[in-house]
Amino acid sequence: MNKKEQTSISKSIREIPDFPKKGILFRDITPLLSDGKKFRACVKHFKKLSKSRIDYVISIESRGFIFGSALACELGVGFVPIRKAGKLPHKTFQASYELEYGSAVMEVHADGFTRGSRVVIVDDVLATGGTARAAVELVRKLDAKIAGIYFLIELTALKGREKLKDLPVHALVSY
Ligand code: AMP
């Protein structure tokens, strides 16, 4: 994607101060999603990054599902959800991660994909990196080889990449 397209995508992500709580500058992607051309350009961009063999797209509840499922369809590969604890009905693997206050648990189905698969992980925002780190731990429990970790947005000041060292991280826009 060229710089002009990137800038145009960046401009269609709205900033909402103090949401969902005071002090958070929330990046609202709904204006981007409602623009069909821009939404498609983002998915095509992720597709271009996926040059090597990919067996599954794994994404993180809930906004990660929007881009992850579209990418899986484009690539013609399976989609596997990572969900907050208690949502998946079958046997799961779990990983905990830090929140601003306390911690939370994410899960993937233990038979969610074939062991040893090549996967990409997709989410909307890389902030502190805790969520993505937990997703990495989960897919490793299924012996996955991580071919890429794609984000629409990276909030660079929060240094999330430091939690994803030595992994192939890509972000479409950075703030
Ligand atoms: P983190 O674990 O800190 O990297 O947070 C990443 C997750 O929290 C992503 O799944 C995002 O959906 C969400 N998130 C964190 N910060 C923001 C933000 N400023 N705006 C929108 N979503 C955010």
Q: Could you give the domains of the chain?
A: 52-174 (3.40.50.2020)
Q: What is the pLDDT of residues 104-123, one digit of tens each?
A: 999 999 999 999 999 999 99
Does 63 qualify as catalytic in the annotation?
yes
CA–CA separation, 138 and 101 (whole Å): 22
Question: How close is the Cα of 110 to the center of ligand 1, in Å?
Answer: 25
Residue 101 has pLDDT above 80, yes or no: no
pTM to 2 decimals? 0.97
Which of 63, 107, 133, 154 is flagged as catalytic?
A: 63
Nearest-atom index, ligand 1, CA of 63 = 12
pLDDT of residue 28: 98
Contact predicate 164/97, CB 8 Å: no
CA–CA separation, 159 and 129 (whole Å): 7
Question: How close is the Cα of 155 to the center of ligand 1, in Å?
Answer: 9
Q: What is the pLDDT of residues 81-92, one digit of tens each?
A: 999 999 999 999
Nearest-atom index, ligand 1, CA of 158 = 3
Where do we find the tokens 């002090």? 23
